[in-house]
């Protein structure tokens, strides 16, 4: 009896060593919580000041794999007709064919193609499609390492990114002499675990 017990303990110990002692943790899937998120931008006006704006409608999904960050994934879809610069006349112009052309291109989308862990977050590369043009972009996504339960029973994470894009790279070349080419974008999101 004793011999069998020790044999079983030894066998379990060997299995643990061969399996690195712990089972692999599955990736966690999150849905973007739009009530606790923002997609904001600023662009130069005449080189004198900044015009600030945001998009009010967007959705996204996140997959975080802490054991293998390369298996993580990020996706975001933005409704272009939700552009909001706190000026209805300007917003109407931004929705027109001069800029976003929302009837032909109703969304801006991003889907990651490569993710790697870096200090305080992730380096994310992916395809950004805007105004009918798809371009590869790379940016730093900070956060994702802290999980908070709120409300009770709901787990959530937070991530932020800042990047600069040239709108001319996406065939949005109208009024470049008046409205800057570089668009500064800040995205902050909370994801709710599924």
Could you report the per-residue pLDDT of 9-37, keeping only the tens digit for each? 333 343 333 344 445 567 899 999 999 99
Q: What is the pLDDT along the chain (194 residues), one digit of tens a residue?
A: 455 544 443 333 433 333 444 455 678 999 999 999 999 999 999 999 999 999 999 999 999 998 899 999 999 999 999 999 999 999 999 999 999 999 999 999 999 999 999 999 999 999 999 999 999 999 999 998 899 999 999 999 999 999 999 999 999 999 998 999 999 999 999 999 99
Query: Per the domain annotation, does 185 fall within a domain?
Result: yes
Query: Per the domain annotation, does 167 fall within a domain?
Result: yes
Query: Per the domain annotation, does 88 fall within a domain?
Result: yes
Please give the tally of structural domains in the chain. 1
Query: Dihedrals φ, ψ of 134, to 5°?
Result: -105, 130
* Ramachandran region, residue 101 (left: φ > 0; alpha: ψ -120 to 50; beta: rest): left
Query: Per the domain annotation, does 14 fall within a domain?
Result: no
Query: Per the domain annotation, does 157 fall within a domain?
Result: yes
Mean pLDDT of the chain: 89
Q: Structural domain of residue 162, as residue ranges?
A: 25-193
**In the structure, how many helices (H) and strands (E) does the chain have?**
2, 12
> In CATH, what number is assigned to the domain containing residue 160?
2.40.128.110
Instruction: Read off the pTM.
Output: 0.83
């Amino acid at each position: 009896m004793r011999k069998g017990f020790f044999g079983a303990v030894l066998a379990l110990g060997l299995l643990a060593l061969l399996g690195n002692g712990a089972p692999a943790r599955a990736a966690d899937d999150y849905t973007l919580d739009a009530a606790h998120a923002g997609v904001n931008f600023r662009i130069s006006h005449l080189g004198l000041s900044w015009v600030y704006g945001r998009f009010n409608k967007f959705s996204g999904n996140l997959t975080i794999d802490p054991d293998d960050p390369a298996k993580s994934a990020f996706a975001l879809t933005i409704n272009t007709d939700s552009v909001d610069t706190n000026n209805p006349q300007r917003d109407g112009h931004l929705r027109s064919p001069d800029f976003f052309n929302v009837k032909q291109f109703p969304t801006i989308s991003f889907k990651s193609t490569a993710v790697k862990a870096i200090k305080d977050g992730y380096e994310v590369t992916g395809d950004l499609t805007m105004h009918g043009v798809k371009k590869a972009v790379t940016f730093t996504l900070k956060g994702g390492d802290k999980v908070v339960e709120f409300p009770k029973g709901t787990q959530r994470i937070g991530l932020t990114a800042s990047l600069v894009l040239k709108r001319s790279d996406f065939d949005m070349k109208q009024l470049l002499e008046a409205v800057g080419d570089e668009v500064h974008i800040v995205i902050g999101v909370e994801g709710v675990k599924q």
